[in-house]
Amino acid sequence: MIVTLTVNGVERTVDVDETTPLLWVLRDELDLKATKFGCGLAACGACTVHLDGQAIRSCSVPVVAVADASVVTLEGLGTPDAPHPVQQAWTEHVVPQCGYCQPGFMMAAAALLAEVPQPTDEEIDRAITNVCRCATHVRIRTAIHRAAEIGAGESTGAEDDR
Ligand code: FES
Ligand code: FES
């Protein structure tokens, strides 16, 4: 089946089985490897991307369901010259350990900040249900607060981990 979707602002057309998960279209058809496979069951969040601005788990969404929609992956979140506040904050706080889960966390964090620009710890914990087996969750929460500061135009230095 021919499916057209917009990925990172560019219209793309793929010829795949309509049941193919969006994750595999991104990785295998469009060569966008930032988005990761973890569980395949919509449980871990490694495959999180934005669909029309909402964080979704791309392992569990058939590509046919996103036809004509706008998908953003980590590759499209910012650029090296103009990184997204989440990318800046992640760098400042050296958040990743092995790094495997981090693209999903960053996309989930960016979606949260678009809706709640200054989230509390409780709002972060409620919204970000991704899994990190390297246990970077504390640094992730700190980095989300820092990204909120950057997004608000504040340029204070990195804070201590909370
Ligand atoms: S791979 Fe999609 S939620 Fe785990
Ligand atoms: S940084 Fe290793 S799984 Fe999260």
Closest atom of ligand 1 to CA, residue 36: 1
Residue 94 is given by DSSP the state T
Given ligand 1 and candidates 39, 100, 131, which is best to mutate, with the most ligand atoms within 8 Å of its CB?
Answer: 39
Ligand 2 pocket residue status of 45, Cβ below 6 Å: no
Q: For residues 151-159, give the mean pLDDT.
A: 60
State how far the Cα of 48 lies from the Cα of 73, in Å rounded to an integer. Answer: 8
Averaged pLDDT score across all residues of the chain? 94
What pLDDT score does 154 carry?
63
Q: From residue 42, how far is each of 122, 129, 135 by CA, in Å?
A: 22, 11, 19
What pLDDT score does 162 carry?
37
What pLDDT score does 160 carry?
39
Closest atom of ligand 2 to CA, residue 96: 1
Ligand 2 pocket residue status of 94, Cβ below 6 Å: no
pLDDT at 52 over 70: yes
What pLDDT score does 68 carry?
84
Closest atom of ligand 1 to CA, residue 37: 1
Ligand 2 pocket residue status of 96, Cβ below 6 Å: yes
Q: For residues 107-124, give the mean pLDDT.
A: 98
Q: For residues 56-63, give the mean pLDDT.
A: 98
Q: pTM of the full predicted structure?
A: 0.94
CB atoms within 10 A of CB 9: 9
Q: For residues 147-154, give the mean pLDDT.
A: 91
